[in-house]
Amino acid sequence: MPVRKTDEADLKKRYMIFVQLGLAASLLILLGLFTVHFQTAQDFQIVEEQQEIVQVEEIEQTQQQEKPPPPPKPPAPVEVPDEDVTEEIDLDLDMDLDLNDAPTDLPPPPPPAEDEPEPTEPEIFVIVENPPELIGGLEGLQSRIQYPELARRAGIEGTVFVQFVVDEQGNVNDPVCVRDPGGNTCAEALRAVREAKFKPGRQRGQPVKVRFSLPVKFRLR
């Protein structure tokens, strides 16, 4: 059913009245709440429980005392008979000793030990009557030289002087490089000299050790 315009106009007029009545009712309720006094019960008490106190007692540690051992019993007395027991010992010495006679059967004393001479190493000569001779000559030694690759790449040339000792059998001992240009030329010269063989040097017709030196040349071709 359609609402008439008159009723709609009446509702609009009353709307503000209803709003004002609601506000007034709200204010009255708030004022009533503020004026009301809330009282709490005065008989309310807080009971505090007492905490149980635990006491710790220290117990003394008892130490057992060891009793000392009883004293040893005194030894029983030894009964000694009253009779004197004497024993006669007869020594029948039929041997006549003459302290002036010296024994004649003693072995002779050993001869005094002679000091053995300490072995002496053979002398190494520097100058001898007949010096050592290299078998094959320097040309044979140079033919065994292999030019080190490091010296070849670096273009190193020069002479290595090798010093050593030729023993009584003509062998080379303790070779060392006195001077070398580098580039592993010393190692190659030592290798070639160790493989060399000599006629030993002689002094007064006897083979002796002689200190000797050789030049080993390195030349690029």
Asked if 172 and 147 touch (Cβ cutoff 8 Å), the reply is: no
Are 180 and 189 spatial neighbours (Cβ–Cβ below 8 Å)?
yes
In the chain, the domains with their CATH numbers are: 124-218 (3.30.2420.10)
Q: Which of 132, 101, 154, 157 is nearest to 210 (CA)?
A: 132
pLDDT digits (tens, 9 = 90+) for 125-160: 999 999 999 999 999 999 999 999 999 999 999 999
Q: What is the mean pLDDT of the chain?
A: 78
> Collapsing DSSP states into helix, strand and coil, what is residue 153?
helix
Lowest mean pLDDT among 26-30, 45-49, 201-205: 45-49
pLDDT of 89 > 60? The answer is no
Which SS3 state, helix, strand or coil, does residue 214 take?
Answer: strand
**Cβ-contact 193, 141 below 8 angstroms:** yes
Kindly report the pTM of this predicted structure.
Answer: 0.46
Q: In the predicted model, is pLDDT for residue 44 greater than 60?
A: no
**Candidate from 52-61, 77-86, 100-109, 188-197 with smallest mean pLDDT:** 77-86
For residue 143, the SS3 value is helix
* Of 95-104, 139-148, 175-184, the least confident: 95-104
What's the per-residue H, E or C state across the chain? CCCCHHHHHHHHHHHHHHHHHHHHHHHHHHHHHHHCCCCCCCCCCCCCCCCCCCCCCCCCCCCCCCCCCCCCCCCCCCCCCCCCCCCCCCCCCCCCCCCCCCCCCCCCCCCCCCCCCCCCCCCEECCCCECCEECCHHHHHHHCCCCCHHHHHHCCCEEEEEEEEECCCCCEEEEEEEECCCCCHHHHHHHHHHCCCEECCEECCEECEEEEEEEEEECCC
What tokens appear for 43 in the block? 């008989």
Question: What pLDDT, on the 0 to 100 scale, is given for residue 216?
Answer: 95
Place of tokens 């709609």: 8
**Cβ-contact 130, 168 below 8 angstroms:** no
Other CB atoms within 10 Å distance of the CB of residue 165 = 16
Is pLDDT at 10 greater than 50 in this prediction? yes
State residue 117's pLDDT score: 65
DSSP 5-55: HHHHHHHHHHHHHHHHHHHHHHHHHHHHHHHPPP---TT--PPPPPPPP-P
